[in-house]
Amino acid sequence: MLGSTHGTLTTDSRRARVIACGEQPSPVVHGRPAATDDLDVSGRPLYADVPDLDRFFRPETVAVVGASDAEGRPNTGITRQLIAWAERVGARLHPVHPTRPSVFGIPCAPSVAHLPEQVDLAVLLVADPLPVIEELAETKVKFAVAFASGFAETGTEGAAAQERLAAAVARSGLRLLGPNTNLNAFERFRDDLDGPAIALITQSGHQGRPVFALQELGIRLSHWAPTGNEADLETADFISYFAEQPEVGAIAAYVEGLKDGRAFLLAADRAARRGVPVVAVKVGRTETGARTAASHTGKLTGADAVVDAAMRQFGVIRVDGLDELQDTATLLARARRVGASRQDASEQGTAGGRTRTSDPAADGVVVYSISGGTGAHFADLATEAGLHLPQLSEAKQAELHQWIPEYLNVANPVDNGGHPVGDWRGRKIIDAILDDPDVGVLICPITGPFPPMSDKLAQDLVDAAEQTDKLVCVVWGSPVGTESAYRETLLGSSRVATFRTFANCITAVRAHLDHQRFTDSYRSPFDEAPRSPSPSFRKAQALMRPGQQLSEHAAKQLLRAYGIRVPREQLVTSAAAAVRAASLVGYPVVMKASGARIAHKTELGLVKIGLTSASQVRDAYRELTDIARYEGISLDGVLVCQMVERGVEMVVGVTHDRLFGPTVTVGLGGVLVEVLRDSAVRVPPFGEDQAHAMLTELRGRALLDGVRGAPPADVDALVEVVLRVQRMALELGDDIAELDINPLMVLPRGQGAVALDALAVCR
């Protein structure tokens, strides 16, 4: 058995290889050399420093390089805005310009070197920031912002210029935002709003405007980080920083491209440890990725599928539209955990994060409506989206019928026939629903205003929300949106989550419940990631053939080195040897041509199954070698294999993603693997729980449970193979371009799994 296969496993073999060669790895974690304990076996960081961005967002001193007060100059408007911002945050601002004695009446320094004091933040309003970066390094400026464009966004020459800029920043010791960024970080944030805030990260400033505008609806924003081209500071840095800020209830992000896959995972891990939700729009869902893959696995996994899986693994909630980003981030920022006050949520919990109750919170959703049709419509949509709408108990229904006529349905949805206006009954109904221990969420769709009923209903919902830690949501369906019940009552409450559409409400509520379940059980995979190579690594190294595809026989030896079961088989080079091998392996047998350049043997007729006699084996040997000779295929021999018939055919493999490195895929296998395209992918590191979760994502998952009289498959053995393959991805990640086990025959429960065929392509 291979040790620690149920631990968390991750990528590559760089560190293992340099150790074997007597070299010392020298990776860097956010600009500093990483300690040995900070690295996994692949040489990748396990922890990331949280950048101290306090002096970026709240500097004491600011220099504006290229400041101007000349009419008609673009820099003039920017300078004016920065002066106003500096006054709001209490910073001393110093204009810098080589020929101006003053700017807007403020004395102007001719260069950075002439600044009267050390500067926290330098804003560069110059076309070429590179020379200024070198000056800033000498004066030990902490942060700089480069607005200039013309870098990586423009093509090859711009990318080279950005690389030179990034190198200068790395040498300088300062941290840079940009280039190709804007003034979003220096906007005027409302300071009259309370409650948990949303921190915003965008690579495109314009795409963040809808979230920033939430302040007009009474929703607090604390920060805005427009990352631009991310030559230095990136999305991951801001996620890590925002996750540590006590006022931040949720992080909203608009991401066009991730700079460093591992840095993003570490940042998402930090947010997950703290229980801080991250909601993201990530463009590029339709990107297919330019892949030329020999393996089935490579053809199943697209770049966006990997990003999607990585986000899901670490609890990042991915949404599509900016309206969904607004509504989901707002709900997640404001929603309390069951049994936890807001103060508890910000001060207690695992690793300094939010309170985690010992018992899972109720996930039951009750729909409360003044219209039976509205309730039924919403319930259909919510159920289809995967929300749990439990039927209320007979006792609870009887309680509700004290205030709701008997002829109305109160099982869930609860139809009140018209919310009581003139007395206390309306609040009693709402409280009774929220008191149910199976109910965690109350949703009230109001398709249109109907004063005074809708006004009283809105007020009762707000009052009830203030007295419960359960989630209360309202969908205000009026297209007008000027009604006082909406603008003043509902939006005036930080405890009621108010939406304008059914779909966005359902999306946000599902995200909240999913995230709550995620944080309840989250354990960081980085804490248990292996830091030294396994004994299997050296055995596997001897099998590697750089730049070549291994034969099936060699690929199976690779699997065997990592404890993955393969059939009894022998490699033979004559018909007589084939007959002897068949008698040793045991009839019936399978015979397959084995060679380094054969990708898919079945299509070429290079597989013969169900052979039961010596004569059949001799004939099969001659036929296989004749086909190979005709096709011009060089063989290292013919495999005579044990025939394994009864089981579920799966595929497990490794491919490389340009952003995250090695990834692990599992799916339905066999000859139709590329037709079915039923697979799930994960980015190492992940543990046994995620391996099981991969299987639940498969459309054909029921096949593993046993269908049409077939026995249940050995799911535990399948999970074990997935984890062992992940270990291979970890230790051989720099050496294997693709690995494909297809089919992996998963036998009936308790009998294990057998890799019937394997393909490996070395880098």
DSSP 16-58: HHHHHTT-----EETTEEPPGGGB-TTS-BS--PPP--HHHHS
Q: Which two tokens stand for residue 279?
A: 């909601």
Integer CA distances (angstroms), 666 to 148, 207, 564, 692, in order: 45, 36, 15, 11
- β-pairing verdict for 102-103 and 106-107: antiparallel
> CA 447: distance to chain centroid?
34
238: phi then psi, degrees, rounded to nearest 5: -75, -35
Q: Which parts of the chain sit beneath pLDDT 70?
A: 1-37, 286-302, 337-361, 599
Q: Which two tokens stand for residue 12?
A: 């590559």
Strands (E), 679-723: 679-682
- pLDDT score for 347: 38
Q: Which two tokens stand for residue 748?
A: 């009936």
Q: Which two tokens stand for residue 530?
A: 């292996």
- β-pairing verdict for 589-594 and 637-642: antiparallel
Contact 35, 552 (CB under 8 A): no
Cβ count near 127 (within 10 Å): 10
CA distance 46 to 406: 60
- Residue 199 pairs in a beta bridge with 223, 251
**Residue-level length of the chain:** 763
CA distance 467 to 471: 11
Residue tagged 């920065």 (tokens) = 82
Q: Which two tokens stand for residue 29?
A: 């974690």
Burial class for 321, CB neighbours closer than 10 Å (0-12, 13-18, 19+): middle
Contact 127, 148 (CB under 8 A): yes
**Among 269, 209, 207, 214, CA closest to 243:** 269
Instruction: Starting at the earlier edge strand, list the strands of the sheet with 569-572.
Output: 569-572, 637-642, 589-594, 607-611
- pLDDT score for 349: 37
Element (DSSP H or E) covering residue 255: strand 248-255
- pLDDT score for 28: 45
758: phi then psi, degrees, rounded to nearest 5: -150, 145
**Among 89, 56, 328, CA closest to 211:** 328
Question: Which DSSP symbol is given to 542?
Answer: T
pTM for this predicted structure: 0.88
CA atoms within 13 A on the CB side of 221: 26
CA distance 375 to 365: 12
CA distance 75 to 78: 5
CA distance 525 to 523: 6
Element (DSSP H or E) covering residue 464: helix 453-466
- pLDDT score for 208: 93
Q: Which two tokens stand for residue 217?
A: 């609806």
Number of H helices, E strands in the chain: 26, 29
- pLDDT score for 2: 35
- pLDDT score for 31: 43
CA distance 552 to 466: 65
Peptide bond just before 45 cis, omega within 30 deg: no
